[in-house]
Amino acid sequence: MQINSQKGQTEEAYQRASRSGWSRQYIFRTMMDGALLLLPLAIILFALYLIFRFVFNLLVPISVLLSTGSEDPHWTVNILSLVVLLIFLFLIGLLVRNRSGKFYFHYLERNYLSQIPLYSTVRDTVQQFSGLKKMPFSQVVLIDPFKTGVLMTGFVTEEISKDMYTVFVPTAPNPTNGNIYHVPRQCIQFLDVGSDQAMRTVVSMGTGSSCLFNDDALLQLSDKASAEN
């Protein structure tokens, strides 16, 4: 009886831990989420460290000339290594700014770099944190996908090309449901409104939608209507 009682207490304690969300599986998954979040940053820092050490080793002979008789590298070598690293990063950035550089880089990325594990994760993380790539739902738009004059509140989830966007249009009052449209650029009106503010208009069944239509938005809509007529 005592053994069964202890077993029942153990199972009850485990169930309580599971219900409270502090089970072993929950703790493990939470730790993995934290590790996956920090992993791209750690990979980037490690790659920069390797490049810095490579440049540093190339400049070690200069240290020998500057500090004869000393085993420690001269402090100027560290500064020179950092300067060379920054110049190298600048030249790479300058290279991919022109059309031919972008073409060759995208070719290299598509055929080789994308095959490297975690490369896409690191790239997307860096682009999102640096602002080079917009986070999903960060850009609020009005779309007229059927060209009927009826506008829908949507959120850009991906820029397919310069002339084509993927837009999520949530349903009210539950914004977790909705429709996905692949919309050409001419059917989209970009708004200078925060995504949280626009989402509140969806949850509130359209109440407060006037925040979406400032003077600039109304002027652009008027110009589009005039051009179509």
52 plus 124 within the same structural domain? yes
Residue 16 lies in a domain: no
70 plus 125 within the same structural domain? yes
Q: Does residue 44 contact residue 126 with C-beta atoms inside 8 Å?
A: yes
Structure tokens at 139: 């850009």
Last residue of a domain, one of 130, 147, 176: 130
- CA 161 from chain centre, in angstroms, equals 17
How far lies 145's CA from each of 140, 151, 168, 217, in Å?
Answer: 15, 8, 12, 18
Q: What is the pLDDT of residues 127-144, one digit of tens each?
A: 665 555 665 677 999 999
43 plus 126 within the same structural domain? yes
41 plus 119 within the same structural domain? yes
Residue-number span of the structural domain to which 154 is assigned: 139-228
150 plus 122 within the same structural domain? no
Closest C-alpha among 168, 167, 199 to residue 184: 167
Residue 42 lies in a domain: yes
Structure tokens at 205: 């069944």
Q: What is the pLDDT of residues 53-86, one digit of tens each?
A: 888 888 777 766 666 555 566 677 778 888 888 8
Number of domains in the chain: 2
**Mean pLDDT (whole number) for 172-191:** 90
Mean of pLDDT over the chain:
75
Residue 18 lies in a domain: no
121 plus 51 within the same structural domain? yes
Q: What is the pLDDT of residues 11-24, one digit of tens each?
A: 554 455 445 455 77
Residue 14 lies in a domain: no
Determine the straight-line distance between the first and last CA of the chain, rounded to whole angstroms: 87
Burial of residue 148 (number of CB atoms within 10 Å: 0-12, 13-18, 19+): exposed
Residue 167 lies in a domain: yes
